[in-house]
Amino acid sequence: QSVLTQPPSASGTPGQRVTISCSGSSSNIGSNYVYWYQQLPGTAPKLLIYRNNQRPSGVPDRFSGSKSGTSASLAISGLRSEDEADYYCAAWDDSLSGPVVFGGGTKLTVL
């Protein structure tokens, strides 16, 4: 049981916009930054979004992050086949669960 809650799966067709949610609590998302990782099959995770909505160098602007209260979302616009991957949210946590917690991951399928 992950501290941060994500839907196990999401899907979309090429060109579509999809969003993945991440729900937490006041001790993590509610009071700290949210991070998003993309994990392609058989590879290490790659940082997509840091500090809620910032993109590291090299990450396309098709990927965007947002946060409101104790929830966060990752949006992918102009969906491409190569976006098919697992996506994880993460955050600092000020409770006994911390200091770092991950979501359970969302498997994105491009139909």
Partner 1 sequence: QVQLQESGPGLVKPSQTLSLTCTVSGGSISSGSYYWSWIRQPAGKGLEWIGRIYTSGSTNYNPSLKSRVTISVDTSKNQFSLKLSSVTAADTAVYYCARDPSGDLPLDWGQGTLVTVSS
Q: Site residues (CB under 8 A) for partner 1? A: 2, 33, 35, 37, 43-47, 50-51, 56, 88, 90-92, 96-105
Distinct helix (H) and strand (E) counts, the chain: 0, 9
Tell me how far, at minimum, the Cβ of 26 lies from partner 1, in Å. Answer: 18
Our CB check for partner 1 shows the closer of 78 and 99 to be 99
Query: Which residue number, 6 or 71, has a Cβ lying nearer to partner 1?
Result: 6
Give the integer Cα–Cα distance in Å for 55 and 36: 10
Taking the complex as a whole, how short is the minimal distance between the CB of residue 90 and partner 1, in angstroms?
A: 6
Q: Specify burial of residue 72 (Cβ count, 10 A radius: 0-12, 13-18, 19+).
A: buried
